[in-house]
Chains A and B, each alone.
Chain A
Amino acid sequence: MTEFQTNHPTDEETVQETVWEQEVAFIDSVPRSVAMTFVFVVFIGTWQLVTALGMVSPIILPTPMETFKDMIFVGQNLLTGGYMLDSLWITILEVIYGFALAIAIGFSLGVLVGETAFGEKAVMPYLVAIDTMPKVAFAPLFVAWLGFGIESKVALAAFIATFPIVVGTAAGLHAADENARMLFKTMGASRMQTLIKMKLPTGLPQIFTGLKIGAVGVMAGAITGEFLGGGKGFGELIRVAASQLNTPRVFSLILYLSVVGLVLYLIVQWTQRRVVFWQKETVGSYDG
């Protein structure tokens, strides 16, 4: 046997520790809150500067203060159940219905396309063809078919959000690897069992990616529908404010609207964390 020299430090020797500082650039060591505040301040500062120096007409760009005041006004109207709340509620309903419809249709089509050879061969090409069209261009059609009520907006919202969900579901169903398929085959699993117990759970991350893209699209669809098809939603408020050159109002309405979109996105993300609990976070974790 070979003898190995061991390196135990004797009592007299002090152990040379090799704890060392990892070099981190200053800008990366700033906490998130500070970094975000910094960017916010720079943004508002530039905005203030540009407007205060009169570089652009106040009709095109209001000052931050004006916008802030209007946000408070709109906020009060919303909180006291004013007419804006009714409008917001209409838009929220359009978004909810549109998203629900998009999930139902998108998921079904996704399974058809991702699971059956027929769907892949005969349905997918048409979906790709429609998906490459500018879907907003269908808005006048939906208005003609469904009228000026919320139905036409729901339709456009759902129409836009369906495709990412189809793609996400179909991709998810293809995500299972050869080993998992073989394994299910050896267990004598039926096609339905393989789909429900293996392919769908395996594809959940992709399905949720589709849902998140769809959640963004559904907002865009509802507001575009309102721009092009009238009605009483929040989009109509924005359109009216813009036509009256009330730019601070436009800005503050957009900000409130983005809160709705953000909440929808966060709901999807929260659901994803719950359902796909095994999925590792890909961003924001440093040492496991």
Chain B
Amino acid sequence: MTSAAAHDYSGVPQGAPVYELTNVSKTYARNQVVALQDVSLTLRKGSFTSVIGSSGCGKSTLLKIMAGLIPPTKGRVILQNKPVTGPRRDIGMMFQQATLFPWKTAAENIVLPIEIRDGKAAAKKAMEAAHDLLEMVGLKGFEDVYPNELSGGMAQRASICRMLITEPAVLLLDEPFSALDELSRDLMNMELQRICREQNATAFLVTHSIQEAVILSDDIVVMKPRPGRIAEVVPVDLPRPRTLDMMTTQKFGEIVDRIRAMLDKGEDM
């Protein structure tokens, strides 16, 4: 692995394509469900993209294929000029549940990816980085606390740290905050935006919330179900950095309405 400088480890210039998906299709062999059909998508370095679409339209499937967790039936996935053929270090992933392991402290949970890949000694060395990350997400002092004593939001923060510890170039997020209440969710989203900017990471977020997609994204991929495919990619030209009060602006409302109309139309198909 390349060990480049802390904040731009991938070495890819801002705006250059990082992720390239070409005609990705997925049919689950088990039940012959066509989960994805001819999905082509390019993510640019440092961009934030959200996917939105009705339940079962293949969002999680798309994310799993991008992460190298399951193979596509057809098509090509390229990340940083290398085809994705399995889990990779330059991919960070986060799921709906925080999934911290109760027998490890917060810090130990965070260095787990290092422990798995490089062994216990490397994990020990990464402890300091874990402490820094915990401080960054406002969990200073919780390093040695076991997950049982963390609130849902705190656990999600810790799992963000676990995703970031390997300094991934892209972050794949599958409804990471949907288990949180709206208030903490908004705060976590702002936190996420700050982290992505700070680390210059490319983010790809699956969400059910149109507001969340609009406030965070540069582009919103709207998907249609059965078979899952891309209906449209909507650019969001709100200025950066985004703030929560942008949610009350007219422009924000217009984009939300536009996407909602698209999703409603999708339901009829």
Does A189 sit within 8 A of B, measured CB to CB?
yes
Does B91 sit within 8 A of A, measured CB to CB?
yes
Asked if A198 meets B97 with Cβ closer than 8 Å, knowing A182-B69, A186-B67, A187-B113, the reply is no
Does B243 sit within 8 A of A, measured CB to CB?
no
Q: Residues of B contacting A177 with CB < 8 Å?
A: 97, 99
Q: Are A188 and B103 in contact (CB under 8 A)?
A: no
CB distance from A81 to the nearest CB of B (A): 44
CB distance from A276 to the nearest CB of B (A): 8
* Contact among B64, B95, B117, B148 with A183 in the assembled complex (CB-CB below 8 Å): B95
Additional pairs, 19, CB under 8 Å, beyond known A183-B99, A185-B69, A197-B116? A177-B97, A177-B99, A179-B99, A180-B99, A180-B101, A182-B69, A184-B116, A185-B87, A186-B93, A187-B113, A188-B86, A188-B88, A188-B117, A197-B112, A197-B115, A277-B103, A278-B102, A278-B146, A278-B147
Asked if A179 meets B116 with Cβ closer than 8 Å, knowing A186-B67, A278-B103, the reply is no
Does B140 sit within 8 A of A, measured CB to CB?
no
Contacting residues of chain B (86-132) with chain A, CB-CB under 8 angstroms: 86-89, 91, 93, 95-97, 99, 101-103, 112-113, 115-117
Q: Residues of B contacting A202 with CB < 8 Å?
A: 101
Centre residue among B87, B91, B95, B116 by max chain A CB count within 10 A: B116
Q: Are A187 and B97 in contact (CB under 8 A)?
A: no
CB distance from B202 to the nearest CB of A (A): 16
Q: Residues of B contacting A183 with CB < 8 Å?
A: 93, 95, 99
Interface string of A152-195 (1 = CB under 8 A from B): 00000000000000000000000001011011111111000100
Q: Residues of A contacting B115 with CB < 8 Å?
A: 197
Q: Residues of A contacting B146 with CB < 8 Å?
A: 278
* Contact among A188, A189, A198, A280 with B101 in the assembled complex (CB-CB below 8 Å): A198
Q: Residues of B contacting A201 with CB < 8 Å?
A: 101, 103
7 closest residue pairs by CB, A with B: A278-B102, A179-B99, A188-B87, A186-B93, A187-B116, A187-B113, A189-B116
CB distance from B67 to the nearest CB of A (A): 6
Q: List 18 A-B contacts (CB under 8 A).
A: A179-B97, A179-B99, A180-B101, A182-B93, A182-B95, A185-B87, A186-B87, A187-B87, A193-B116, A197-B112, A197-B115, A198-B101, A201-B101, A201-B103, A276-B103, A278-B102, A278-B103, A278-B146
Q: Once the chains are docked, how many angstroms separate the CA of A184 from the CA of B116? A: 9
A residues adjacent to B (C-beta < 8 A): 177, 179-180, 182-189, 193, 197-198, 201-202, 276-278, 280
Q: Residues of A contacting B112 with CB < 8 Å?
A: 187, 197
Contacting residues of chain B (75-93) with chain A, CB-CB under 8 angstroms: 86-89, 91, 93
* Contact among B89, B113, B148 with A278 in the assembled complex (CB-CB below 8 Å): B148
CB distance from A108 to the nearest CB of B (A): 23
Contacting residues of chain B (39-75) with chain A, CB-CB under 8 angstroms: 64, 67, 69
Q: Once the chains are docked, how many angstroms separate the CA of A184 from the CA of B117? A: 11
Q: Once the chains are docked, how many angstroms separate the CA of A185 from the CA of B86? A: 9
Centre residue among B67, B87, B115 by max chain A CB count within 10 A: B87
Q: Once the chains are docked, how many angstroms separate the CA of A182 from the CA of B112? A: 14
Contacting residues of chain B (190-213) with chain A, CB-CB under 8 angstroms: none
Nearest residue in A to B93 (C-beta to C-beta)? A186
Q: Are B117 and A186 in contact (CB under 8 A)?
A: no
Nearest residue in A to B88 (C-beta to C-beta)? A188
Q: Once the chains are docked, how many angstroms separate the CA of A202 from the CA of B147? A: 14
Q: Residues of A contacting B116 with CB < 8 Å?
A: 184, 187-189, 193, 197
CB distance from A119 to the nearest CB of B (A): 22
Q: Residues of B contacting A197 with CB < 8 Å?
A: 112, 115-116
Q: Once the chains are docked, how many angstroms separate the CA of A57 from the CA of B121? A: 72
Q: Once the chains are docked, how many angstroms separate the CA of A183 from the CA of B163? A: 10
Nearest residue in B to A275 (C-beta to C-beta)? B103
Q: Once the chains are docked, how many angstroms separate the CA of A276 from the CA of B146? A: 13
Nearest residue in B to A204 (C-beta to C-beta)? B103
Centre residue among B86, B99, B147, B148 by max chain A CB count within 10 A: B99
Q: Once the chains are docked, how many angstroms separate the CA of A186 from the CA of B166? A: 12
CB distance from B25 to the nearest CB of A (A): 22
